[in-house]
Amino acid sequence: MGDDLNETHDPDLRSWVGESDDFPIQNLPIAEFRPVDSDELFRGGVAIGDSVLDLAAVAQLEIFEDVVQSALAACCRPELNDFMGMGIAAWSSLRLALSRALREGSPQQQALAPCLHPLDAIEYSLPCRIGDYTDFYTSIYHATAVGKQFRPDNPLLPNYKWIPIGYHGRSSSIDVSPQSFKRPKGQLKSPEDSEPHVAPCKRLDYELELGIYIGSGNELGTSIDMQNAEDHIFGMCLFNDWSARDIQGWEYQPLGPFLAKNFASTVSPWIISLEALAPFRLGWERLSADPQPLPYLRSEENSSSGAIDIQLEAYIQSSKMVVEKVPPMKLSRSSFRHSYWTISQLVTHHTVNGCNLSPGDLLGSGTQSGPLPVEAGSMLELSSGGKNPLTLPTGETRRFLEDGDTIVFRGFCQAGNAVRIGFGEVRGTVLPANITPSIGR
């Protein structure tokens, strides 16, 4: 578990391509892309500076050998599942080869220069075929705040501190940023209603999350232990798990989220490897007053470096702000270091019963709220369930999201003398609901 620092993390490295805040040579994230407005096939690309290196074009050069060339061949396809399934040795070998080839003074500069595309001239697809999707609930601050809204007398259920809580979601409605989606409809019932009715939701919300992609999986009936869990994680992205709070409030007991969560979820296009995140690892510990994890959820490596300081920011921009050319307004900033459970614990618990994970499966971290009010990861928390509306720069107010609102998440890591790396952004816009004659009581 845990990737040690190596030559790819050297803060003195510079690329002949150039640098950017999000994508220096110490990052090298991967996505599926093609030139904008083209009919070309999507293929794998690696971000470097303000460009993307076309891995299909690199593969055709045949300037690499053995596992690196095989990895490049797997990245030529419109989905990265085959590359994800090759395992950590292949991922790391390709990353090292590209780091060396993209450094200043590389003898491969002349060959690779024609393989670059400007980042502002490409479009993205989902990076892989997401076969299964599980959403977790790893922020105790978010879980407590939401619990207060739905269960004022019992906000945090007793199992939360013992078990990584999650539910199996629907992968078919996950799409890549930028995503536009229609406001969901569903059954609603307020305390004043004698019976439910069907209508567009009124309490639409975002959830500031991280996505965790599975690389190599496990066989049905086997488990992944803590010591090996991170070897099965391909990388991480930004993730917005949109939520209809009023639909959720009526339907979620006793079996949990259903239509309140499966209408849209948005991932950022770039996947950042755990290897790139190595300089930003932190120790992880449980408060002494809380139950300590059961033995299968413990390891020395998890205690020493299980947490990751990924800074997360949420912004809003209304349609009126767009018209008036007002930039997005920051709503909150938090960090993944506050997570109550680590990514190794999520993978290990997910498979302890013999559940099989596959390349391309996606785990959601759950809303990443921190301990302070300004670190809230949802409108539900920021507006206190709609009781305290937020004021936008245009004078508009928001208790929850309105049609035309765009939510943007950004993520980055910075620490000590390590070079700052970024996740890019994930962006989604709310469209009006479909209104049909069947809507209503």
DSSP state of 12: T
CB 122, CB 35: distance < 8 Å: yes
d(CA 210, CA 236): 7
61 φ/ψ angles, rounded to the nearest 5 degrees: -70, -25
d(CA 263, CA 261): 6
Q: Which residue do the tokens 């849209």 mark?
A: 264
293 φ/ψ angles, rounded to the nearest 5 degrees: -60, 150
In 240-292, which ranges are continuous DSSP H helix?
245-251
Angle between helices 88-102 and 66-74 (to 10 degrees): 100
Catalytic residue among 9, 142, 338, 349: 142
Pairing state between β 362-364 and 133-136? parallel
CB 405, CB 316: distance < 8 Å: yes
- Classify 227 as helix, strand or coil: helix
Q: How far is CA 248 from CA 150, 166, 223, 230, 383, in A?
A: 10, 15, 32, 32, 17
Q: Which residue do the tokens 């305290």 mark?
A: 388
Q: Which residues contact 368 (CB under 8 A, 6 or more apart)?
A: 138, 139, 142, 208, 209, 210, 312, 334, 335, 336, 338, 339, 377
How long a stretch of residues is the chain? 441
In order, the DSSP letters of 355-418 are: PPP-TT-EEE------SSGGG--SHHHHTTTTTS-EE-TTS-EESS--TT-EEEEEEEE--TTS
Q: Which residues pair with 122 in a beta bridge?
A: 35
CB 157, CB 147: distance < 8 Å: yes
Query: Is 168 among the catalytic positions?
Result: no
The amino acid at 214: I
Structure-block tokens of residue 37: 């407005």
Catalytic residues: 142
